[in-house]
Structure 1
Amino acid sequence: MFATTPAGLSGVGRHRVPGAARWHRFATISPSDGPTSRRPGQENDPVRIRTGRDGDVELLLAFWGSAAHGTSVSDDAAGVAALLAHDPQAVLIAEVDGVVVGTLIAGWDGWRCHLYRLAVAPEHRRAGIARALLAAARERFLALGGRRIDAMVDDTNTQAHALYRAADYRSQPSWTRWVHPLGG
């Protein structure tokens, strides 16, 4: 849980999802807290950030299919269900009026902080949603005792590069990611 309200978020709270055994946290961004570049129709729409739930599998897959840059080997129902079963708090979901407008996976392995699947719906970009998701992830990691955040960003996703640079992240050119697929 977050100890403080992340920058750009007007409130942080917890709520119990009906039928769920665990509490889920959420935060809201009030329109006055975000940048002035909101698109028409967004001026009075508060954005709420919540954590994942068991029933979010298809919702996340559909959202990533329309809003994310590229796909991942774990972009399937089994992969997302396993993530939600393992650590639903790692899945941050931004909503406006109950509609998903952004996501970020803020994974913690007990030693390092990892960001994956930062995506914002095209019609909601440049409205502060990605920054609010990054702020919520930062607060999660601070509460868990994290020391450094790394973000997985496709080399061809120049829009994401600009966002991360603006949020004070730096590319680490001396490192290369090596992967080994576990499946067939």
Structure 2
Amino acid sequence: MAYDFSKLKASIKETEEWLLRELSGVRTGRATPTLLDGVKPEAYGTRTPLRELASVSVEDARTLRIVPWDMSILKTIEKGITEADLGVGVAIDDQGLRVSFPSLTSERRTQLSKLAGDKTEQAKVTLRSHRTDALKALETAEKAGGIGEDEVKRLKNEIQKLIDIGNDSLIKVLERKEEEIAQ
């Protein structure tokens, strides 16, 4: 009986994607539209995600341009960004809004690196959990008599190789993020 690694591989991929999503929200010295994903201004009687109210684009390394679909809610969007307390400067001009991101201090860079490291550690813990689940499934199959002892050893090594590859991938994601933070 061949062991199916597809579930484990999918779990490893999901964990890496989760880490990428989490780290995309960690502000670096560069302005990216994802930094405003958490902004939900009070518009039309309800809190609405900014991306549903306006287009957000990168103007330069430290500035985002926000062009509302409806210019009458310009002040509402400005208020929403200010209330989000992102530590950014917001200015209204004739085309919409400009959001300026200040340079990061060395203290803030250290905090962000620690946060990125913590998120990566969470992802590694998740990978270890996936490994445990896969090993338990393997044990169950062995007890049921579907897999021999030599095959179990080989499959355990294969599971560990997949987890090691996943961990290496998480570390690379962290290193890229730390590079961004350092710039």
Give the TM-score band, short-chain normalised.
Answer: under 0.3
Q: Considering fraction of residues, name the structure with more strand.
A: 1
TM-score (normalised: structure 2): 0.22
Higher helix fraction: Structure 1 or Structure 2?
2
Whose radius of gyration is greater, 1 or 2?
A: 2
